[in-house]
Structure 1
Amino acid sequence: MTACAHAAPHLPALLSAGETRLSAEQIYPRLFDAILEQRLPPGSALPEQALGDAFGVSRTVIRRVLGRLSDQQVVVQRPSHTAHLAAPDPQQARQVLSARRLAETTLITLATQRARPTQIRQLRQLVERERQHHERGERCTAIRLGGEFHLKLAQMAANAPLARFLNGLVPMTSLIIARYESPCCEHCAWEEHAAIIDAVERGDSSAALALMHEHLDRLEAKLDLGVDQSA
């Protein structure tokens, strides 16, 4: 397994020196990146007060961030219990990947039929950010942005139930990649995302579908799911 990170610091390191009060929208990517980097290890408790202190915000703001991550299955919340990070085992990872493939292969066809030029431009801008982070060695931010690429595609498909379903699978896949990625992997997802955009822009649903299958095949191939890392 290759973690996208290093030693786990204390929560105060989540807020940079000199920063002012952050919004929930600003906190979400920082907390998600910290999760993917395993600065917050799988299964970690996420006390609202401690996170609020770390980011300099109220528990109400943190509650919104945790609610979003809970909707995406990255965080587990139960009544009267402190939220904690999900820790998917290999069997759960395989189930997530299988369900995601079923959803994505339908959504990519719909997205190709309904894509608008403005949406294509937004996708290209997102993939450019993904490329930049990848080339700077910021792998976990690139992983998160790669997930956002797929969620944007789902929005383009204009099928709300399927998009909501995928919203609960893609962020979890990002967590799975961060936890189980093979150390020898040289996979550049942004290049495959760019090729998918080209096919979508041409309106070539057959090519877009084939590229999506190939992309998901490579994603699964780079994961070492032979051993449960929590064992």
Structure 2
Amino acid sequence: MTKTSIRKSDSKPGADDVYDRIWSAIMERKLQPGTRLKEEDLCEVFQTSRGGIRKVLLRLAHHNLVNLVPNSGAYVAKVTVKEAREVFQARRLIETELVRELALNFCADKQRALTEHVELEEQAHHEGDLNRRIRLSGEFHLKIGELADKPVLTQFLREIISRTSLIIAQYQRASARHSEQTATHPCCEHSGLIEAFEQHDAARAVALMIEHLNHLEEQLDLTSGSHSAIDLQSIFS
């Protein structure tokens, strides 16, 4: 790793900023399951103390995104096949409740917020920015929870969506990755949900969300997974 430090400004990032940047890297699948997060490298990347990095890693471990291995270090968590299936089961339970609630209490302001978000997804797709679109896709689901005014469920969902990114990075079929990069309408399922919300059709919104999550799960090969070495300096530049 080079000695060049990565700084957006002259001020050093706080713990929340470091956490958010690592979380975003996981969401965007830049950090693959099994990637070692060396404390000294992270200290150099974020220009912060080892104590501060350790607090962030403990927080990530608390949210099941990082595994702390004694006498070895911190690693981006790997997810077992059983855990992967449970994550999607949990998402179906939580997100069907969220879309049902939002459909019954939808309004023009909420429609505008979701539509603007989908437009950002479409822009990322047209610009070929796959990582940004992946992150925005996950944030769309979180926005549904926020607009449904369900903060507790949304917080649970935030952790589960992060684990979904780990699962996809570990288990997504090669054919699905190619399809994801070349799909003409990557956000059509999100747009369909908005239409159901506009019609206050809770039953259709629930059905569409289940179909959407099933589609994501069907893109996985829950039999194997691999990862390659990652340069932390390049990820957070």
TM-score by length of 1: 0.77
Which one is further off, 27-36 or 155-164?
A: 27-36
- Contact 2:37-2:74 at 8 Å conserved across structures: yes
Q: State how far apart, in whole Å, the 2-side matches of 1:87 and 1:12 are.
A: 30
* Residue equivalent to 1:108: 99
Give a deviation string over 1:81-133, Cα, whole Å, max 9, x none. Answer: 84321111222211111111111111110122233433332222222222222
- Contact 1:48-1:62 at 8 Å conserved across structures: yes
Which one is further off, 204-213 or 178-187?
A: 178-187
* Residue equivalent to 1:148: 139
* Residue equivalent to 1:7: none
**What aligned pairs does 1:21-40 form with structure 2 within 5 A after superposition?**
21-23=12-14, 27-28=18-19, 30-35=21-26, 40=31
Which letter does structure 2 place at the counterpart of 1:221?
Answer: E
**What aligned pairs does 1:60-99 form with structure 2 within 5 A after superposition?**
62=53, 65-66=56-57, 69-70=60-61, 72-77=63-68, 82-99=73-90
* Per-residue deviation, 1:64: 6.4
Match of 1:227 among 208, 221, 224: 224
Q: State how far apart, in whole Å, the 2-side matches of 1:126 and 1:99 are.
A: 24
* Per-residue deviation, 1:33: 4.7
Match of 1:171 among 162, 169, 175: 162
Q: State how far apart, in whole Å, the 2-side matches of 1:189 and 1:171 are.
A: 20
Rg larger in structure? 2
Structure 2, unaligned stretches of length 5 or more?
Answer: 228-237
TM-score by length of 2: 0.75
Cα separation, partners in 2 of 1:54 and 1:211, compared to 1, 3 Å: same
Q: State how far apart, in whole Å, the 1-side matches of 2:25 and 2:220 are.
A: 20
Give a deviation string over 1:27-67, Cα, whole Å, max 9, x none. Answer: 45543454456654422332444313102344566466546
- Contact 1:46-1:83 at 8 Å conserved across structures: yes
Aligned residues: 220
Secondary structure of 1:226's counterpart equals coil
* Residue equivalent to 1:123: 114
* Per-residue deviation, 1:76: 3.3
- Contact 1:73-1:171 at 8 Å conserved across structures: no
**What aligned pairs does 1:149-228 form with structure 2 within 5 A after superposition?**
149-185=140-176, 186-187=179-180, 189-228=186-225
The percent identity for this pair of structures is: 37
* Per-residue deviation, 1:166: 1.6
Cα separation, partners in 2 of 1:94 and 1:63, compared to 1, 3 Å: same
Kindly report the root-mean-square deviation, in angstroms, between the aligned alpha carbons of the 2 structures: 3.2
- Contact 1:74-1:172 at 8 Å conserved across structures: yes
Greater RCO structure (CA 8 Å; 6+ sep):
2
- Contact 2:33-2:169 at 8 Å conserved across structures: no
* Residue equivalent to 1:46: 37
Which letter does structure 2 place at the counterpart of 1:158?
Answer: D
Which one is further off, 85-94 or 161-170?
A: 161-170
Question: 4+ residue runs of structure 1 moved beyond 6 angstroms?
Answer: 11-14, 78-81
Structure 1, unaligned stretches of length 5 or more?
Answer: 1-9
